Structure formats: structure tokens, C-alpha cells
Amino acid sequence: MTATNGIRNFSAICKNVSTLNFYLENGFGIEDWDPAVDKQGMSFWDELPDGTSFFNQPSMDSRRSFQLSLLSAQPLQPDNPCPTDSNCTFSISFAAPSYKCEWRDDFGGQRTYNLSQMAPRGDLLYASYSSFEEDFVGRPLGWNITAPDNDTGIFRSEPSLWVAWVYNTTLPATAENATQWNTSYWGHQLRTHVMECMFWNSTYSYNLSYLQGKMNVDNYSVRQDTLMLPPGSIIAPDMPTYMEWS
């Protein structure tokens, strides 16, 4: 028997590729759970007096997925969809939220910090806050969950995330700097960077390859399309895309 050394390429449809589809949230409220459908929801829902479902908090599956992603040094590897003893590559594109961050000269929004609090004039090397307060699961503080009213469940604005950090230029502090801050404590010139990060509807695209069972991601791109919630807009429970947006 003679065997030829080489790589054999062929196209195939892999039915077990893991997917995340926010569109499927639409139309499935608190009363629409179907045990026959093998899918996990991204959110838990509560109910208004008229029976309309509204966002309560992220579901356990949603939290688990995001926490694992944040704690992992690399993208989570799903089950290998390639046929046994083969390599495969496929392209993925999907819509999902992303933060778009831009430089700012100073803090903004509902200010929690001031530039004077950042080193070297202050003690902070890093600071972050939301432009307005939400509760521990991301609901606006104005929502009355125990006794829902006309404002419960309505998203009227999306907070910006403000982030600041201090960069050490490694340049020694000067005599002039000694009149501005304690140079015995901060002996180098420091610069504060401030960024405002806003939530956008985005399109993610990348190639996913499995080579000898190991996942590799390349040609990665994120395109920010539109603001998640433009100024003056609202997202209410009776809107057709409320579930997807929440």
C-alpha cells in the first residue's frame, strides 16, 4: 500500500458551531419559555401590571459567559466543530455591543473625580466611574421594581464609562514641579490620560481556525455602526427590539 504525504482540503457544513444571536431574544418574554427549544436566554425578565415583560437582570448563563471571558487570557474555546482528525477554518460575523473610547481633556458626566485627585497632585493612579448611577445589575436607579410604574423598564439613556490613568514619563521632576506637588513623593513628571467610552451597536468579524484541535483567531475587526441609544431616544418594553437591546 502506498500513501502520499500532503494536506487534503474539502468543504463541509459544521452544524455544531457555537453561536450568540441577540436577535433571538425578541418576542420571548417571561411567559414564552419553551423547554423544547435548546437555547439559553441572555436576560431574566419581570412583568408589568399589563403582562408586558421588562428587563430584570442578566441571566446566569449570560453572567457565566462574560465572567469566563473576562477572567480568561484568551478567547474561550468552544467545542471543535471540525470533522475528526482534520483542520478547519471559517469566518464569523455578528452584531453585538462594543465600547468606543475617545480621549477627553477632563472628566465629564456625573463627575465622581477631578483631575486634581490624580497623581502627582493627588493620590490616584487610576480612576473609573459611570456617567450616571445604576444598581448592581445595570438597572437605572429610578426604576421601581417592587411596585412597577410608567417609568419602570424604560431605558432613557446609556451611561458613558469614564476611565483615567497616570503615565510616568520617567522625566525627573523639576524645581518648578516642586512648587506644584510633593516631588519627594512623586519624583518624576506624570501625565494623566482621560477617556470616555460609549456603547455602540457594532459588527464583529473574524476568522476562526482549528489546527490540530487548537483554536486560533485572526483577521479580527470591530466596526462601530450606531450609538446604542442616541440622545433623545428611549427603549421601552412595548418596542419590538426591546428584548434584543436589553
How many other CB atoms are there within 10 angstroms of residue 48's CB atom?
Answer: 16
- Answer yes or no: is 75 within a domain: no
Give the Cα separation of 136 and 54 in Å (integer).
Answer: 17
- Answer yes or no: is 57 within a domain: no
- Answer yes or no: is 174 within a domain: yes
Lowest mean pLDDT among 58-72, 109-123, 202-216, 230-244: 58-72
Dump the DSSP string for 3-33.
---S--------TT-----GGGGTT--TT--
Q: How buried is 153 (Cβ within 10 angstroms: 0-12 exposed, 13-18 middle, 19+ buried)?
A: buried
Instruction: Identify which has the larger pLDDT, 32 or 133.
Output: 133
Q: Cβ(68)–Cβ(166) under 8 Å?
A: no
- Answer yes or no: is 241 within a domain: yes
Residue type, 51: G
Render pLDDT for 196-221 as a digit per residue (tens, 0 to 9).
999 999 999 988 888 887 888 888 89
- Answer yes or no: is 30 within a domain: no
- Answer yes or no: is 109 within a domain: yes
Instruction: Identify which has the larger pLDDT, 13 or 100.
Output: 100
What kind and span of H or E run contains 244? Answer: helix 242-245
- Answer yes or no: is 211 within a domain: yes
Question: pTM of the full predicted structure?
Answer: 0.74
Report whether pLDDT(18) > 60: no
- Answer yes or no: is 14 within a domain: no
Lowest mean pLDDT among 68-77, 81-90, 198-207, 236-245: 68-77
| Structural domain harbouring 128 | 83-245
Report how many domains make up the chain.
1
- Give the contacts of 230 (CB within 8 A, at least 6 positions apart): none
Residue 42 pLDDT level (bands cut at 50, 70, 90): confident
